[in-house]
Structure 1
Amino acid sequence: MRTSGLSELEAVLAVARHRSFRAAANEMSVSTSALSHAVAALEARIGVRLFNRTTRSVSLSEAGAQFVSSVAPALSTIHAALEQAGSFRDTPSGTLRINASVGAANQVMPVFIAFLQHYPEMKLDIVTEGRLIDIVVEGFDAGIRLMESVPQDMIAVPFGDRQRFAVVGSPAYFSQHKPPRAPVDLSAHRCIRSRMPSGSIYQWEFERRGETVRVDGDGALTLDEPGLMLAAARTGLGLAYLTEWNVNADLEAGTLVRVLEDWTPPLDGLCLYYPGRRHVPAGLRALTDMIREYADANRERVVGKRKRRSAFRA
């Protein structure tokens, strides 16, 4: 039997991951018909149906499940060998697939832009979503999330400062409502609620002097995207619970007012993370180096700013 090409094997693994020919085709940047033809050609050559197809779903057959479990590690080894050989190039090349939340991607975007400018033969495929995923199972090279969300078996590269949440409302809102002095006071306020990717409502988290409080605020509006929550808070519709990164510009401009600041301690910041393995692709290694450089430069700017403030106060 003629040996099948890597592209056909990659097509099978992509369809198996997504349970969809269309989604797999998008990942591989090919047409759905071309991908379907590649899988069908492999099935015809080995004489086994790998997928059960209906008009609404795609699932692995028993033979397909065994085939994928055997091929996936072997193909990973082949890719690692190719990447290791490619690491001897003067300039990294290839595509890095990265999974991140929308907020995380926005914060790291300056590094992404600088990376592509510095390495013109590299490509970045950034997928943003709120839900936490297994980046290995989903076929990503790396992820970007808050440090507390990263699995312990991953290698994490910190990025940026520690982050805090902030409860904010517009001046117009506070002209009609007394600012809360403790989380318990939120029961008398309209809260812009946040829906998690799982569908559950996120409870606002507070902590002060060892006391931890969770609040499921009441309000007429529930959203699942920080930018929409920010816009709603600006109109005076209610209080929003967002990261400082999202609200700092409004706080400086005076379009939003912060409350309960002493109840929101800092959390570990963002990090880029990837599986701990013997060989790291040259492109990913270059990106992690650039993130470290950016983090170091940002840290120096913050320290310098604090020193200038201290000198001014003195």
Structure 2
Amino acid sequence: MSRSAPPLHDIATFVSVAQNASFTRAAEQLGTNKSNVGKAVQRLENRLGTRLFQRTTRAVRLTEDGETYLEAARAALEGLSEAEVALSARRDEPNGRVRIDAPIGFGRLLLPMLAALRTEYPKVLPELSLNDRQSDAVGEGFDVVVRAGELPPDSDMTVRKLYDIRLGLFAAPTYLARNPIHSVADLREAEGVVFRSGSGQLRPWTIHESGRTFQIAPKPSLITGDGRAYVEAAINGFGIAQIYDRVAEPHVASGELVHLLPDADVKGPPVHALIPVGRRMPPKTRVVIEALANLFRPPTRI
């Protein structure tokens, strides 16, 4: 049957006596008295079943067994010291895996940000999950959850608002070549990519015109409940889609989508970053949160 390891205090005391060749000087170094030092060495000797020092009135010398044990004890204490330094560095330096959950439509937006983050912090490993369902951040072990929309009360999460979405109408140049849009009135006959929400309802377009906000139910050309497919359908010319401004930005920049009737844009839901509470936020999570904040700051009109 294996025995438990000897107390580190006794090992450190033994090493101090050996280095100082004196119980008295070891006691001074350790901030204790000679009696406590002697008891610690005696406990270690009793445990090992051998004498570690030859003691005389004039000198304290290691025995052969003591010399063998000193070499192992020094290596063990040095290893522990190096581990403490490494762990301290990890607490201060962003290091490790960060599990991120975000809406599917945000994928193309987040990937360049995460690539830049990896360049700046190569020891941080992002693990990105993209889905449009309301995941259980704590139960599923996510470090950061990005959510669009109003949040239900949740005592298990710390919330940081990132920005307020604007919703705009977008379509591919190929669709607009066949179906030009010049005014809000043209939207009533236009074909649209329609999103089916988790509740099963088809989401109408919300439009702003002449100081009022109203909804239009477009003529569906494709119905989907997948955020990525929703954007890709618009890119592929299925029809007009109402898309989050920041999600649409890279597609507008690449020429895949055209922003229609910017004055008809409406304010959408807020975007939040959620972090499980109950523990100190590690540096690896903090740099991801800051990168998200920078990504969405400031919100822009397109």
Q: For each residue in 1:154-190, what CA deviation from the matched residue of structure 2 results, as whole angstroms up to 9, or x when unmatched?
A: 433344x6432222234454454452633x7534221
Matched, 1:192 2:193: yes
> What's the secondary structure of 2:105's corresponding residue?
helix
Matched, 1:137 2:139: yes
Specify whether residues 226 and 295 from structure 1 end up closer, same or farther in structure 2 by C-alpha distance, changes over 3 A only.
Answer: closer
Specify whether residues 259 and 156 from structure 1 end up closer, same or farther in structure 2 by C-alpha distance, changes over 3 A only.
Answer: same
Counterpart amino acid of 1:96? V
Q: CA deviation at 1:129?
A: 0.3
Check whether the contact 2:132–2:227 (CA below 8 A) recurs between aligned residues. Answer: no
Spell out the pairing of 1:32-111 with structure 2 (5 A cutoff). 89-111=91-113
If each structure's strand is expressed as a fraction of its own residues, which one has the higher value? 2
Which of 156, 159, 179 is the aligned partner of 2:159?
156
Check whether the contact 2:104–2:228 (CA below 8 A) recurs between aligned residues. Answer: no
> What's the secondary structure of 2:141's corresponding residue?
coil
Q: For each residue in 1:134-171, what CA deviation from the matched residue of structure 2 results, as whole angstroms up to 9, or x when unmatched?
A: 3123332220123x344455433344x64322222344
> What's the secondary structure of 2:220's corresponding residue?
coil
Counterpart position of 2:167? 165
> What's the secondary structure of 1:136's corresponding residue?
coil
Specify whether residues 122 and 86 from structure 1 end up closer, same or farther in structure 2 by C-alpha distance, changes over 3 A only.
Answer: farther
Counterpart position of 1:245? 246
Check whether the contact 1:145–1:272 (CA below 8 A) recurs between aligned residues. Answer: yes
Counterpart amino acid of 2:159? A
Q: Give the number of the structure whose alpha-carbon radius of gyration is greater.
A: 2
Counterpart position of 1:30? none
If each structure's helix is expressed as a fraction of its own residues, which one has the higher value? 1
Distance (Å, rounded) in 2 between the aligned partners of 1:119 and 1:254? 32
Distance (Å, rounded) in 1 between the aligned partners of 2:90 and 2:254? 50
Identity of aligned residues (%): 23
> What's the secondary structure of 1:89's corresponding residue?
helix
Counterpart position of 1:45? none
> What's the secondary structure of 1:164's corresponding residue?
strand
> What's the secondary structure of 1:104's corresponding residue?
helix
Distance (Å, rounded) in 1 between the aligned partners of 2:172 and 2:191? 12
Counterpart position of 2:114? 112
Distance (Å, rounded) in 1 between the aligned partners of 2:292 and 2:113? 7
Distance (Å, rounded) in 2 between the aligned partners of 1:211 and 1:87? 56
Specify whether residues 253 and 90 from structure 1 end up closer, same or farther in structure 2 by C-alpha distance, changes over 3 A only.
Answer: closer
Check whether the contact 1:226–1:246 (CA below 8 A) recurs between aligned residues. Answer: no
Spell out the pairing of 1:201-216 with structure 2 (5 A cutoff). 201-208=202-209, 211-216=212-217
- TM-score, with structure 1 as normaliser: 0.53
Q: CA RMSD in A?
A: 3.6
Q: CA deviation at 1:193?
A: 1.5
Q: How many residues align?
A: 212
Check whether the contact 1:130–1:196 (CA below 8 A) recurs between aligned residues. Answer: no
Check whether the contact 1:104–1:145 (CA below 8 A) recurs between aligned residues. Answer: no
Counterpart position of 2:79? none
Distance (Å, rounded) in 1 between the aligned partners of 2:145 and 2:253? 31
- TM-score, with structure 2 as normaliser: 0.55
Counterpart amino acid of 2:127? D
> What's the secondary structure of 2:192's corresponding residue?
coil
Structure 1 gap ranges (5+): 1-84, 303-314
